[in-house]
């Protein structure tokens, strides 16, 4: 029954995707939309088919920037989040900085990042990590604070160390909210990577070629880099959802009963 | 009774007893204490099986023990302006099961938490094995069973049962009780790889009991552990608790609202007044051991329930000076 439900869901998702592509293709052709404004999917596919290695190589570069940035950010944020969850004054003190990171436009400070770290990968990875930190930290703090009070008391009753409470209780309790943040941060990190690649004077990555194509009025390359970035984002989301299903199989959000 | 009977029927029959009502361990319906043979190692395994403790002669478990296991002397507790406990003095001897009974909000849980070292008293002292309660906690001498099972949802039944063994390992006694044997005794062997959400409330509370017993601690502090269960499951759980405690000579401090629960498992019942809580009566439960379900149909059982009800009503009538918003 469960597999039938999943098959039906996959079928509906496929039908939705096909409908979207068909409407897109039809609309662009019917309205004769300028290619720089919107390219029909068929032309993106043919541009990709003309030089697949070019797009695949650059997609891989962007994927690497995303993966390294988001992973580094997660590692740092869990440490920060654990500290903030343990000491409330520290949490209050950190709020201005976290909110500032969250609301300040990247374009406002990307030049400063390039001046500090130089062009290329270091600046790109830094921006990806930097913009995803608040999401991870907020998720970690709220998840750790939400650990079952009765279980916390149980740990206290046998004088468990802070480390044991962190790794055996608080961190697993924070996993559901961390995964929720992951879904948002994957999209945010990808946008940051695409933007930073175009703004840090590099020749690698979808963002770098997308920006160059926009400047030189090359719609096929511009839109195909966008398509590749979108496919990369979907793949990353699928990976996160798969990991979530596996690691949180005990959690109410992953259960059908 | 259906759930309990069903559980007994599906439980395996141990070798030394002809009753079907033997869950591979101590039989609830006979006096054979062979269940300890299945529980190897540590305190459970090394504890000598004293048949005197589990036969009908042992009507006053712990009464013959000279050692005071838990000493509560002049303990008071205030939460701001609210007095939760006025001086409480109580001695619990080794091997005794003592129940704290009282109206809602009288400070039963507060007293238990102070004994467990989870809450500081405003004045007075608590000693466990001649140590203060914080030392007892650090040495893992006390198994705490909270009101909710507090199972970790990402851990399987077996992993949850091992949880207290896994933390603060340095304080573990040399040989710990066999968790699998304990799970077998409570009829959960086939659920060892299940997750908590796959269990009923009663099964979850059985895992919580196993987790506490797996610690191998000589003291158990239980805070209304069966309060959230339906009446049938609740009865099953008190039979199970009595069966687990009796052969081990475990000292238990048990908080409950339930009169049948108090009478069935206890050697003594301490009745607290309304807030601020103070001891208004101590009733000795001189019923035979082991405690079997049939005991609940005897006139002596009803007589004790009546006696406790009267003590409880009298205690509830004694209003304290704390305001109405105090902590229970």
Residue B174 has pLDDT above 80, yes or no: no
Task: Kindly report, residue by residue over A6-26, the tens digit of the pLDDT.
Answer: 788 889 999 999 999 999 999
Residue A96 has pLDDT above 60, yes or no: yes
Residue from the list A154, A164, A175 with its beta carbon closest to the beta carbon of B150: A154
DSSP SS3 for B72: strand
Residue B279 main-chain phi, psi, to 5 deg: -75, 120
Q: How far is A144 from chain B (nearest CA, A)?
A: 14
Residues of B with CB under 8 A from a CB of A: 116-118, 137-138, 140, 142-144, 146-148, 150, 152-154, 163-164, 166-168, 171, 195-197, 215
| Chain B residues lying within 8 Å of A157, measured CB to CB | 116-118, 137, 142-144
Inter-chain contacts counted by CB atoms under 8 A, chains A and B: 65
DSSP SS3 for B284: strand
Task: Kindly report, residue by residue over B52-85, the tens digit of the pLDDT.
Answer: 232 233 344 555 555 668 999 999 999 988 889 9
Please tell me the predicted confidence (pLDDT) of residue B66.
52
Find out whether B43 and B248 touch, Cβ atoms under 8 Å. Answer: yes
Please tell me the predicted confidence (pLDDT) of residue A210.
96
Please tell me the predicted confidence (pLDDT) of residue A19.
96
Percent of chain A with pLDDT over 70: 97
Return the residue in A159, A171, A175, A176 with the most chain B beta carbons within 10 A, the one to mutate for interface testing: A159
Residue B87 main-chain phi, psi, to 5 deg: -50, 120
Please tell me the predicted confidence (pLDDT) of residue B45.
31
Contact B168 A154 (CB under 8 A): no
Q: How many CA atoms lie within 13 A of A131 on its CB side?
A: 27
Higher pLDDT, B279 or B322: B279
Quickly state the pLDDT bin for B257 (edges 50, 70, 90).
Answer: confident
Quickly state the pLDDT bin for B248 (edges 50, 70, 90).
Answer: confident
Q: Could you write out the DSSP letters of every residue in chain A? A: -HHHHHHHHHHHHHHHHHHHHHHHHHHHHHHT--TTT---HHHHHHHHHHSHHHHHHHHHHHHHHHHHHHHHHHHHHHHHHHHHHH-HHHHHHHHHHHHHHHHS-HHHHHHHHHHHH-SSHHHHHHHHHHHHHHHHHHHHHHHHHTS-HHHHHHHHHTT--HHHHIIIIIHHHHHHHHHHHHHHHHHHHHHHHHHHHHHTT-S-SHHHHHHHHHHTT-HHHHHHHHHHHHHHHHHHHHHHHHHHHHHTTTSGGG---
Residue of B nearest to A248 (CA): B154
Higher pLDDT, A145 or B14: A145
Contact B168 A168 (CB under 8 A): no
Question: What is the spatial distance between Cα B249 and Cα B246, in angstroms, rounded to a whole number?
Answer: 6
Q: How many CA atoms lie within 13 A of B18 on its CB side?
A: 0
Please tell me the predicted confidence (pLDDT) of residue B125.
92
Identify which of B227, B254, B279, B269 has the alpha carbon closest to the alpha carbon of residue B106. B279
Is the pTM value of this prediction over 0.80? no
Higher pLDDT, B265 or B174: B265
Task: Kindly report, residue by residue over B272-283, the tens digit of the pLDDT.
Answer: 988 888 898 899
Q: Summarize the confidence of residues B118-146 as an average pLDDT.
A: 90
Percent of chain B with pLDDT over 90: 40
Q: Could you write out the DSSP letters of every residue in B73-111? A: EEEEEEETTEEEEEEEEEEEETT-EEEEE-STTSSHHHH
Residue of B nearest to A169 (CA): B152
Higher pLDDT, A110 or B104: A110
Higher pLDDT, B180 or B8: B180
| Chain B residues lying within 8 Å of A244, measured CB to CB | none
Lowest mean per-residue pLDDT among A175-189, A223-237, B67-81, B235-249: B235-249
Quickly state the pLDDT bin for B4 (edges 50, 70, 90).
Answer: very low
Please tell me the predicted confidence (pLDDT) of residue B228.
80
Q: Summarize the confidence of residues A241-247 as an average pLDDT.
A: 92
Please tell me the predicted confidence (pLDDT) of residue A3.
67
Task: Kindly report, residue by residue over B13-53, the tens digit of the pLDDT.
Answer: 333 333 333 333 333 333 333 333 333 323 333 333 222 23
CA dihedral over B245, B251, B253, B259, signed as positive or negative: positive
Helix boundaries (H) for chain B: 2-10, 42-46, 51-54, 108-115, 133-138, 157-161, 163-166, 179-185, 201-214, 231-245, 259-265, 299-317
How far is residue B157 CA from its own chain's centroid? 20
Residue of A nearest to B135 (CA): A159
Angle made by CA atoms B8, B14, B20, in degrees to the nearest 5: 35
Residue from the list B152, B166, B171 with its beta carbon closest to the beta carbon of A159: B171
CA dihedral over A110, A115, A117, A118, signed as positive or negative: positive
Q: How far is B8 from chain A (nearest CA, A)?
A: 28
Q: How far is B197 from chain A (nearest CA, A)?
A: 8
Residue B227 has pLDDT above 70, yes or no: yes
Quickly state the pLDDT bin for B254 (edges 50, 70, 90).
Answer: very high
């Amino acid at each position: 029954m469960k597999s039938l439900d999943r098959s039906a869901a996959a079928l509906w998702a496929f039908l939705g995707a096909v409908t979207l592509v068909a409407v897109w293709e039809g609309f662009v052709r019917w309205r004769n939309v300028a290619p720089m404004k919107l390219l029909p999917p068929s032309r993106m596919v043919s541009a990709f088919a003309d030089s697949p290695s070019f797009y695949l190589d650059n997609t891989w570069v962007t994927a690497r920037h995303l993966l390294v940035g988001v992973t580094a950010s997660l590692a740092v944020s869990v440490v920060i989040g654990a500290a903030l969850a343990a000491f409330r004054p520290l949490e209050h003190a950190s709020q201005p900085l976290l909110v500032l990171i969250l609301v300040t436009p990247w374009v406002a400070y990307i030049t400063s990042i390039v001046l500090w770290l130089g062009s290329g990968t270091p600046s790109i990875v830094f921006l990806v990590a930097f913009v995803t930190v608040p999401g991870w930290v907020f998720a970690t703090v709220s998840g750790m604070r939400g650990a079952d009070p009765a279980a916390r008391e149980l740990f206290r009753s046998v004088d468990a160390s802070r480390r044991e409470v962190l790794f055996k209780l608080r961190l697993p309790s924070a996993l559901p909210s961390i995964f929720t943040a992951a879904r948002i941060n994957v999209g945010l990190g990808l946008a940051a990577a695409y933007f930073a690649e175009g703004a840090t004077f590099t020749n690698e990555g979808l963002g770098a070629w997308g920006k160059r194509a926009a400047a030189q009025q090359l719609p096929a390359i511009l839109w195909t880099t966008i398509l590749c970035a979108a496919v990369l984002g979907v793949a990353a989301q699928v990976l996160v959802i798969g990991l979530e299903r596996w690691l949180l199989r005990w959690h109410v959000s992953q259960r059908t009963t | 009774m259906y759930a309990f009977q069903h559980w007994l029927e599906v439980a395996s029959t141990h070798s030394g007893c002809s009753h079907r009502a033997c869950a591979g361990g101590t039989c609830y319906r006979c006096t054979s204490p062979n269940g300890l043979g299945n529980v190897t190692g540590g305190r459970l395994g090394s504890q000598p099986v004293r048949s005197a403790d589990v036969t009908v002669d042992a009507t006053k478990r712990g009464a013959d023990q000279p050692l005071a296991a838990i000493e509560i002397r002049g303990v008071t507790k205030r939460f701001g302006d609210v007095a939760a406990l006025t001086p409480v003095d109580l001695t619990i001897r080794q091997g005794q099961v003592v129940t704290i009974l009282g109206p809602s909000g009288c400070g039963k849980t507060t007293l238990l938490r102070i004994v467990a070292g989870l809450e500081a008293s405003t004045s007075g002292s608590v000693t466990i094995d001649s140590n203060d309660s914080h030392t007892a906690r650090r040495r893992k001498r006390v198994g705490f069973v909270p009101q909710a099972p507090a199972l970790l949802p990402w851990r399987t039944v077996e992993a949850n049962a091992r949880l207290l063994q896994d933390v603060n390992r340095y304080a573990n006694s040399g040989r710990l009780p066999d968790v699998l044997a304990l799970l077998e005794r409570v009829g959960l062997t086939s659920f060892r790889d299940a997750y908590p959400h796959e269990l009923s409330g009663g099964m979850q509370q059985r895992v919580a009991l196993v987790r506490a017993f797996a610690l191998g601690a000589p003291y158990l502090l239980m805070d209304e552990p069966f309060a959230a269960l339906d009446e049938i499951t609740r009865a099953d759980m008190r039979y199970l608790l009595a069966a687990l405690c009796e052969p081990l000579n475990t000292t238990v401090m048990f908080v409950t609202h339930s009169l049948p629960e108090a009478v069935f498992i206890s050697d003594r019942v301490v009745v607290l007044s309304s807030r601020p809580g103070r001891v208004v009566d101590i009733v000795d439960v001189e019923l035979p051991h082991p405690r079997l379900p049939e005991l609940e149909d005897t006139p002596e059982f009803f007589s004790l329930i009546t006696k406790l009800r009267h003590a409880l009503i009298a205690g509830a009538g004694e209003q304290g000076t704390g305001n109405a918003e105090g902590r229970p």
